[in-house]
Structure 1
Amino acid sequence: MRSTLLLSLAFGLAASSPLEKRQKIAFQSVAAAAESVIATLPAAALGPTNVGVVATTQAPATSAYNLPSAISKATSSITVANSPNTSLAPTSLPANAKSAAKRELEQRDSAAASSTSCATYTGKGPVVTSSPSAWINDPALTSAATNAPVPTGYVQADGFQNLKGSLQMMGYLTVKSLDTYDTQACANYCDNEPLCMGFDIYYERDPAANTTCSPGKNPDSITFIGCTLYGFHVNASLATNTGQWRDNFQVVITASNGYNKVGVKHPGIYDNIPGFSKPVELGNASIDALFWPPAVFDSVDATGNNKLYTYMGMRSLQQPYDARVCASICSAQTAANKNSPDKQTGTYMPCNFFTAYVLAKNDVPVGLQCAFYMLPWNTTYATNTGYYDYPNWPKQDVSNHYTIYNSMAFTASSFAQGTADFGNNNTLAGSYWTNPNAFHSS
């Protein structure tokens, strides 16, 4: 599964305008590339398709997310980059990746239907014996969704009530089986999962027995109550799993409600990341870094030797939000650069600061963003809150809105000198640079 997108790491100024002194992130390009990756993710990374079987045969249901595996995947593509004019090209995608993902989804469903195990299943939801088309509108089911209370600490996602499909989106963590349609019970599961930002609760019409062992391959139905947890905010537009056929049995879904955690911070789990300080919360903004020092930038020579672009680039990861993965990339990049310094100067580019945040396009998350810097910046520079773009400019009838949430900043506990003399490190406090005058080019 390709779940990591490597975006251009612009370590130099070659592509920057002489008048552009701040870091600029082309969110349109980030989102477009991330969406291409998301389209190729296998079904297992988006949510369970055989929900009743998965949730009732795993006690408790195991998480689809594994931190060591995520770190291994994210750091496997680290490339040494110490030249001011070096950039790493975006990861290419195989031309048949999208069709491969579709085949995997079909194969998963086919495998479930053709299993030789004659297991039987029981559901905890209301017994509704009507046809699938009538089942999805039965008041015994839909009334639970329309009357469900919003759990404490959550908000209902816009338009995410009583839908006929469950979520299929990146950031899938796990699925739980509920005894009743209880939004608070599902929220409790989310609260106990540190990476959970939102959840989907719904009824699913499942077969009471394996279809291959049933007369006509169409067994009686049960009603399963699903609670799926995600590492991003959920969005109604992604409730696209409307069911499937398992032989002659039709799986359908109804009463699908989505809720998002308010003020997600993941308190505690990022306080002791090896090599980094406790995070500073940036809220709904990312860092808009300057070239440093500004005075040097204005008088830079033709070769660019007397300028430093502290922004080292970014990575977009299509996995649950986890700042620990960003930290691992930052540390791995420093180690790789240090082990292969510039042959002429003996210097290297250290990663001493990074931010982790969610980028969303029209409220739909496109991934965990990790932005890396040689120099830490304080909250004064957390001014990038996203923006609108108009694809049909100058006609402004349609726009895309790029937003940021759950943004955090981390500073290396022990600064690597690399290409720069950071002066008196005692001037560092918390996770920001307090005395810029102590910094100068080496």
Structure 2
Amino acid sequence: MVRKNIIISSLFLGLVSASPLHLKRQDLPIDSYDESVAAGADSTDTPPVGDAVPQNVETFDSNTVAAEVVATVVDTPPAVAQASNDTPPDVIAVNLLKRSDMNVARADGPATSCIVRTFNGPQVSDPDTPGAFTSYPAFSTAAIDSVKAANVPSGYAAVPNFVNLNAVAQDKSYITYTSSKLTSYDPKKCAAICDATAGCTSFNIYYERVPLEISKATQVPDAALGCPGNADAASATLIKCAFYGMPLVATSAKSVYQYQGKAFKVVYAGSTAFTKSSGPTVDGLQGPVTFGDAAINAPAPVIDHGYLRTQTFGTNVPFAPELCAASCKAQTEYNAKHGTNKGQACIFFNAFVIYKNGKDGVFTCNYYGTPYGVSYAKNRGQWDDSGNHWTISNSFGYYVPGNYVAK
């Protein structure tokens, strides 16, 4: 069953009263960042332990979200957009909210039955303890081998400092996971699934220690059925891949563990993350041109150098430049009709991810009526007055045909 998208959109004008845009340099959109993060606050950020019922599955329909993005442009009243000094909207935030969980068919049989779970990884039984699991040599070997050049999936790169950890990714862009489709620790299989999943940009592959005996109905221990999940209960190993819509970074890894049943400790090993190594292509546009960990910094005053606006998205909207392409086109049509932004056409945008203190990446696009090349990608982050460090990753440029500039 595929669930429908539920989308909410809000418009943040962010007009700077103390420093009008015609005098202002181009800063990162830190004013709207917290609102974008808050919009995804109820999102699941990591897969459930075991094979929980129901399994959470996210779906991403770029056409539906793009329609909402366009609506935020065309529904902006010209008088508001132009304001007193003809400044464009500084920030438009579009937030895709978490959908309700998808009901997954439960196993046949009476709810009172206790079963031995299906698992796909090697059992660690001598001794069968959390410590033995996290230090099991075969898990480390598989993880370390997976990031050797010959084994890294095509089109992906291992996330630096996120290799062979006892921690798993936690990120609001979590989409879904698989265990049943894996028969081994196989990043290439996970990459193929990511490529076939709308909005997927990264994945985290790992071993998970779970209780061997569980309730058939709920997939967790149940003392009433004789599978209480005691501290010394036998374990099983699940190999999992979790999929995310945003690029994972080292700080996405969280050293978390939890208990199931009475005292069974769930832990992780061999956890490694991979992210796509290049930006996605967008139909009808030139690019992507890689800007790395820097965003375009248009010359000041930015309103006289082609800057149109910045758009941020909720943390559970994936890295999807096609959304920015739809918005760019709508901005061109709107500006021509209303004279906003001096009637400039949007001919170039810079798609990137912004982080606050290394966490909670927010997909962001800057739009321009002037094309800029890699020599203008100079904004590598900034500090605010509260001591927060704002950084950038996965920055790419996209151009309306005929407007590409190399420098």
Q: Same fold (TM over 0.5)?
A: yes
Greater strand share, structure number: 2
Extract unaligned runs of 5+ from structure 1.
Answer: 298-306, 393-397, 414-428, 435-442
1:198 maps to which of 196, 202, 205: 202
Contact between 2:207 and 2:271, CA under 8 Å: does it hold in 1?
A: no
Aligned-pair CA distance for 1:116:
4.5
Q: Residue 80 of structure 1 contacts residue 333 of structure 1 at CA under 8 Å; is this kept in 2?
A: no
Q: Percent identity?
A: 19
Q: Is residue 2:389 matched to residue 1:400?
A: yes
TM-score by length of 2: 0.69
Q: Residue 166 of structure 1 corresponds to which residue in structure 2?
A: 168
1:317 to 1:408, Cα distance in 2 relative to 1, 3 A: farther
* Deviation, structure 1 residue 326: 1.5
Give 1:80 deviation, angstroms.
1.2
Seen in structure 2, the aligned counterparts of structure 1 residues 355 and 17 have a Cα distance that, compared at 3 Å, is closer
Contact 2:353–2:363 (CA under 8 A) maintained in structure 1? yes
Aligned to 1:279: 287
Residues 409 and 236 of structure 1: is their aligned pair in 2 closer, same or farther, counting only changes over 3 Å? same
CA contact (8 A) 1:286 1:383 kept: yes
Q: Give secondary structure in 2 for the equivalent of 1:180.
A: coil
Q: Which runs of 5 or more structure 2 residues have no equivalent in the other structure?
A: 216-220
User: Structure 1 pair 388/82, CA: closer, same or farther in 2 (3 Å)?
Assistant: same
Aligned mates of 1:147, 1:314 — CA distance in 2: 38
- The amino acid across from 1:209 in the alignment is I
Question: TM (normalized to structure 1)?
Answer: 0.65
- Higher radius of gyration, 1 or 2: 1
Task: Confirm or deny that 1:214 pairs with 2:214.
Answer: no
User: Which residue matches 1:49?
Assistant: 48
Number of residue pairs matched?
367
2:218 — aligned with what?
Answer: none
Summarize the Cα distance change of 1:5–1:162 in structure 2 as closer, same or farther, 3 Å threshold.
farther
Residues 89-127 of structure 1 deviation map (CA, whole Å, 9 limit, x = unaligned): 87799xxx9xxx9xx99xx9xx99xx9595763101112
Aligned-CA RMSD value: 4.6
Aligned partner of residue 122 in structure 2, secondary structure = coil
Cα distance in 1 for partners of 2:370, 2:393 equals 20
Distance between the aligned counterparts of 1:117 and 1:25, measured in 2?
60
Structure 1 stretches of 4+ moved >6 Å: 1-5, 11-14, 88-93
Q: Which secondary structure does the structure 2 equivalent of 1:209 belong to?
A: strand
- Residues 66, 214 of structure 1: alpha-carbon distance in 2 compared, 3 angstrom cutoff: farther
SS at match of 2:48: coil
Q: CA deviation at 1:204?
A: 1.4
Render the CA deviation track for 1:321-378: whole Å, top value 9, x for unaligned.
Answer: 1111112233444556667x37xx9x867544432222234554522112223x1313
Q: 1:379 corresponds to which residue?
A: 373
The 8 Å contact of residues 51 and 175 in structure 1, kept in 2 or not, is answered as no
Partners of 2:318 and 2:162 in 1: how far apart?
21
Choose between structure 1 and 2 for higher RCO, CA contacts under 8 A separated by at least 6 residues.
2
Determine if contact 2:201/2:318 at 8 Å carries over to the other structure: no
Give the Cα–Cα distance (whole angstroms) in 2 for the partners of residues 237 and 174 of structure 1: 20
Matches within 5 A, 1:31-430: 31-38=33-40, 40-43=41-44, 46-53=45-52, 64-75=59-70, 77-78=72-73, 79-83=75-79, 84-85=82-83, 87=89, 116=111, 121-129=117-125, 133-134=130-131, 136-139=133-136, 142-144=139-141, 147-150=144-147, 151-152=151-152, 154-177=156-179, 178-190=182-194, 195-207=199-211, 208-210=213-215, 211-212=221-222, 214-218=225-229, 221-240=235-254, 242-248=256-262, 250=264, 252-261=266-275, 263-266=277-280, 269-270=281-282, 272=283, 276-284=284-292, 285-290=294-299, 310-318=307-315, 319-334=317-332, 341=338, 351-364=346-359, 366-373=361-368, 375-379=369-373, 382-389=376-383, 400=389, 402-411=391-400, 429-430=402-403
- Take 1:5 and 1:209, find their aligned partners in 2: how far apart are those partners? 42
